[in-house]
């Protein structure tokens, strides 16, 4: 695979995938594992897991690790640029074509409906996450607590992230202590 092919492949993912990064995972898997047979399924499963653990967007992380697998560090850069560029172009065009769009009364009316649609979409994401979290009841309470303190007290999000790292570390530490007698 040449740099050019790599770029075009990721440009296509960026251009044709609706629904964000998660929707790109099966498309990338199909292209590189099934069609082109450039990456074996175990390695791809590994990459999907890494992309979710690492900070940043899933789609960008996938491009990063797959680009690296195929063409080294330069491949990473090219794949990431490829997957991000369609968004950049499309959104810039929309933003350029509709300056001051919210000054139009009709658009403002539409936004009244769009906000409800966005609430529904975000709620779907929350419900899916809660389905995963419900096996750990304390995490469900923790999630609601986070929503409350950020909403009512504007606690900076960096503090929330630190609290998660600290709580996770403490819990892992306690669990490793508990395991010692059984070992």
Partner 1 sequence: MLELLFIFLYVGLLTVGGGIVAIPIIQQEVVSRGLISLSDFIFMIGVAESTPGPIGINVATFVGYNLHGILGAFVSTTSFIIPSFLILLLSINTIKKYRQQRYVKEWFKYLKAVVAGLIMYATLTLMEIGFLTEQDLIDTRSLIILGILIPISIVLYKKPWAIVLIGGILGLLIY
Among the listed ranges 1-9, 32-40, 152-160, the one in contact with partner 1 (CB under 8 A) is 152-160
Told to check if 169 binds partner 1 by CB under 8 A, we report yes
Told to check if 123 binds partner 1 by CB under 8 A, we report yes
Q: What is the C-alpha end-to-end distance of the chain, expressed in Å?
A: 48
Q: Least distance (Å) from partner 1 to the CB of residue 140? A: 8
Whether 98 and 25 have beta carbons less than 8 Å apart is answered as: no
Per CB under 8 A, which of residues 68..87 are in contact with partner 1?
Answer: 68, 73, 76, 80, 83-84, 86-87
Size of the site for partner 1 (CB under 8 A): 93
Q: Toward partner 1, which CB reaches closer, 2 or 151?
A: 151
SS3 104: coil
Distances (CA, A) of 99 to 62, 96, 105, 113, 115: 33, 6, 14, 20, 20
Among the listed ranges 2-10, 25-33, 34-42, 124-132, the one in contact with partner 1 (CB under 8 A) is 124-132
Told to check if 8 binds partner 1 by CB under 8 A, we report no
Distances (CA, A) of 160 to 98, 129, 131, 157, 169: 36, 17, 21, 5, 14
């Amino acid at each position: 695979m040449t740099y050019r092919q790599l770029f075009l492949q990721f440009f296509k993912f960026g251009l044709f995938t609706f629904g964000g990064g998660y929707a790109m995972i099966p498309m990338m898997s199909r292209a590189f594992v099934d069609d082109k047979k450039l990456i074996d399924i175990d390695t791809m499963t590994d990459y999907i897991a890494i992309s979710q653990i690492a900070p940043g967007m899933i789609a960008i992380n996938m491009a990063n690790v797959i680009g690296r697998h195929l063409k080294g560090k330069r491949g990473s850069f090219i794949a990431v640029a490829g997957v991000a560029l369609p968004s950049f172009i499309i959104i810039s065009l929309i933003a350029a074509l509709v300056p001051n769009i919210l000054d139009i009364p009709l658009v403002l009316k539409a936004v009244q409906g769009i906000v409800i649609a966005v609430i529904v979409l975000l709620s779907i994401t929350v419900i899916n996450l809660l389905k995963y979290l419900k096996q750990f009841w304390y995490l469900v309470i923790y999630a609601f607590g986070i929503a409350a303190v950020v909403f009512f007290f504007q606690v900076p999000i960096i503090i929330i992230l630190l609290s998660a790292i600290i709580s996770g570390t403490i819990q892992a530490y306690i669990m490793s202590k508990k395991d010692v007698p059984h070992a």
